[in-house]
Amino acid sequence: MTLTVAWIAVDWGTSNMRCWGIDAHGAILASATSDKGMGRLTPQQFPEALRETIAAFPLPANPVDVLICGMAGARQGWREAPYLEAPADLRGLAAAAVRPDMDDQGLQPLILPGICQKQGGENVMRGEETQLLGLATLLPDYSGLVCMPGTHSKWALLRGTHIEHFTTAMTGEMFDVLKTHTVLRHSLTGELDGPARAEGFAAGAADGLERPQDLLGQLFRVRAAALLSGRQPDWCAGYLSGLLIGTEIAANRHQIGNEPVPLIGSASLCALYVKVLEMAGAKGRPVDATEVVLAGLKAARQFRS
């Protein structure tokens, strides 16, 4: 007897998508990735992108569910999945999911909603809510801040499966635009990963932690340090990265307790956040991002009423 997938889990982001074929026992039978992220697709192109990506999956004769989280549910995505409003119990994600059009009887797609926040600071997330549900199943006793570093870092206050409050820091995107489009680019052209990067990172993180209210002023130090002290591009890149992450962590420091902060993101970025959290007298605990999103999609399916 050939094994076939019982359902398909999909993390559909802006720049790429990842699919996993799951068997009846929750094991991964197949996986595939594609660069057909939401940003490259019109609504009509989603069904074909999905079919293409899972073409090699062993499908059964009967229709299978395809559970999708992320930007496929944005207004400019496949079909808009209206936000759940925080505070919210993430076990309710699947109950609020929407069915996009799919001209294929064998696949039954379902897009999970994102979370919005209207009180205490307007905010939105899409995709991270599923990772948070996954984290809540992996660390069922955790209560506190969760940090998800990236282009737009999310900081969420999680109590079990409940998301209480969250914020978004544009840290990663700021690094990119400052490096590419501002006067700082003159100090950031050349070898950015040289030996002085770590030293610059530590100096920037210290400045950001010490005076987060002065980010607009401290940024210019990247330029001044190159002009006055002959700092090389690797030091300057480290300084800018450290300054931004230090500033971000300082703004959240008052909400961090003694327990390590779970960090969900790329391993290299999480390692930097661990360093700066330690400089701030706190602790970080990297969690594998793929494991977390898969756990979240499984949990969402399981809690579907």
Judged by CB under 8 A, the number of residues near a second copy is 44
Helices (H) and strands (E) in the chain, counts: 9, 14
Quick one: which segment of 26-34, 45-53, 163-171, 267-275 binds a second copy (CB under 8 A)? 163-171
Give the dihedral sign, CA 38/41/47/51. negative
Residue of 36, 91, 223, 298 that binds a second copy (CB under 8 A): 223
Residue of 100, 109, 200, 212 that binds a second copy (CB under 8 A): 212
Could you tell me the two tokens for 82?
A: 């209206």
Contact in structure between 148 and 264 (CB atoms under 8 Å): yes
Asked if residue 279 binds a second copy (CB under 8 A), the reply is no
12-31 binders of a second copy (CB under 8 A): none
233-272 binders of a second copy (CB under 8 A): 244, 247-248, 250-251
Task: Identify the DSSP state of 90.
Answer: G
Quick one: which segment of 31-39, 50-58, 220-228, 277-285 binds a second copy (CB under 8 A)? 220-228
Give the dihedral sign, CA 74/251/273/93. negative
Phi, psi (rounded to 5 degrees) for 95: -65, -20
Q: Of 160, 159, 98, whose CA–CA distance to 126 is shortest?
A: 98
Least CB distance to a second copy at residue 191 (A): 21
Minimum CB distance to a second copy smaller for 167 or for 241: 167
* β-pair partners for 109: 66
Using DSSP, state whether 83 is helix, strand or coil.
Answer: coil
Residue of 168, 206, 260, 285 that binds a second copy (CB under 8 A): 168
Residue numbers at the binding site for a second copy (CB under 8 A): 75, 116-118, 121-124, 152, 155, 167-171, 173-174, 177-178, 180-183, 211-217, 219-221, 223-225, 227-229, 244, 247-248, 250-251
